[in-house]
Amino acid sequence: MKLTTLSVMAGLFAGIAGFAQAQEVPAGYPADYSKIIEGSRAESGLMIYSNMADNNWQPILKGFSAKYPWVKVETIDLGSGTVHSRWEAEKGSKSRTADVLVSGANDRWAAYGKDGLMEDYKSPEIAQLPEFAYPYPGVNVLSTDPLVITYNAALLPDTQRPKGFASLVAAATADPDTFTGKITTYDAARNSFGLSAWWSYMDKKGEQGWSDLRKIGPMIRGETSGGPMNEKIATGEYLMGIAVSGITIFPRLEQPGGEILGFAFPDDGTIMMLRGMGIPKGAANPNSAKLFIDYALSQEGQTLVGKGGLVPYREDVPEDQVRYTFQKISEIVGKDNIITAGFDQRLITEAGPFVEKWNAAIAGK
């Protein structure tokens, strides 16, 4: 768990300038939005529970704090499931808890949408976003992050580097001695992120997807986090990973030794994970939380989301300022090959039978 605090310390003139800027209602917002801005001044800051790392947060927190310098923001980096279990344990108590939740635990967001646990606040920015941006009252989408195929470029020759799931299956079944125990992915039985990803993939691919998984299931060793997957691929413990979070490998490619890793957006089905974001009902600092939600969904905020290594989805985000956008990845693999992993209620009702089928497929049955 990591705790990050970002506060803006500025001189007198900068403070005056920030105050003046804060009085302005963003263009296109309702006139009474000034009540939210002013209401935030009387609050005690903003606590965010998320599954994002410090480097993901820094650009957007810097931009937000420049716009609203009196709002002190703290983020706590947790696992996707822990974001929710911690808040659920704390809500209703007197202890300080999250004002905003951000995670990739899509089954939890589906449950919150069903049970109405998030504040029913609809951002003025929603009108500028695609339909999937606001699936339930109070449930927003912060980013759309791709799951990719990663591989060890030093150990895997060009002829065995997969471009998609089908070519990966073909390469592995043609040379099982090389690939047995050398393929990894998120274990859908042990990880809510993996459950959401693989449920969405199989929902789109149907029996063909299950058939392919059975062929290589016994060769797979499941993990619960993208970072360790990439490190083990880099050291040669694994040769490749399927459906690995792109935001964990993109920064790694730019670090020393990053050239040993390669990746591909699967050409026969790239999963795009919707990262949920919402304000819990009863949040201690609701006005500050609304300011943050709105900023994160704005053009400026989405651009900074991209600068932090996530994948923004607003159509007006300048592509030359970020690594990837949802639209750019759609162009690369084709719109028909985008599999959006959202907050389907069936993630709740079908989870048990799905995990049973998953475990059987991993065993080759």
**pLDDT confidence tier of residue 94, bands split at 50, 70 and 90:** confident
Q: How many CB atoms lie within 10 A of CB 163?
A: 14
For the stretch 42-85, pLDDT in tens is 999 999 999 888 889 999 999 999 999 999 999 999 877 889 99
How large is the average pLDDT for residues 26-33? Answer: 94
Fold agreement (2-144+273-326, 145-272+330-362): yes
Q: What is the pLDDT of residues 219-270, one digit of tens each?
A: 999 998 888 888 999 999 999 999 999 988 888 888 887 789 999 999 999 9
What residues contact residue 35 under an 8 Å CB cut-off, 6+ apart?
none
pLDDT number for residue 2: 55
Instruction: Specify the pLDDT at position 16.
Output: 42
pLDDT digit string, tens, across residues 232-242: 999 999 999 99
pLDDT score, position 258: 77
pTM: 0.89
Overall CATH class of domain 145-272+330-362: alpha beta
Residue 314 DSSP symbol: -
What percent of the chain stands above pLDDT 90? 80
Model pLDDT for residues 95-105, shown as the tens digit of each residue: 899 999 999 88
Angstrom distance (rounded) from CA 144 to CA 141: 8
| Residue ranges per structural domain of the chain | 2-144+273-326, 145-272+330-362
Please say whether the beta carbons of 328 and 319 come within 8 A: yes
Residue 13 has pLDDT above 50, yes or no: no
pLDDT at residue 251 in the model: 82
> Among all chains, which residue has been given the structure tokens 């400026």?
300
Spatial separation of the C-alpha atoms in residues 243 and 212, rounded to whole Å:
14
Q: What is the pLDDT of residues 347-361, one digit of tens each?
A: 999 999 999 999 999
**CATH 3.40.190.10 describes domain 2-144+273-326:** yes
Considering only CA atoms, which of 118, 258, 246 is closest in space to residue 193?
A: 246
- Give the helix ranges, DSSP H, for 206-316: 207-216, 226-235, 246-253, 286-297, 299-307
Question: End-to-end distance of the chain based on CA atoms, in angstroms?
Answer: 38
Q: What is the enclosing helix (H) or strand (E) of 168?
A: helix 165-174
pLDDT digits (tens, 9 = 90+) for 115-137: 999 999 999 999 999 999 999 99
pLDDT of residue 192: 86
Residue showing tokens 């039978």? 353
Confidence check: pLDDT of 305 > 80: yes
What was the pLDDT predicted at 20? 42
List 73's β-bridge partners, or say none.
6, 46
Cα-based distances in Å from 300 to 30, 34, 67, 294, 295: 19, 19, 11, 10, 7
Per-residue tokens: 42? 């009387």
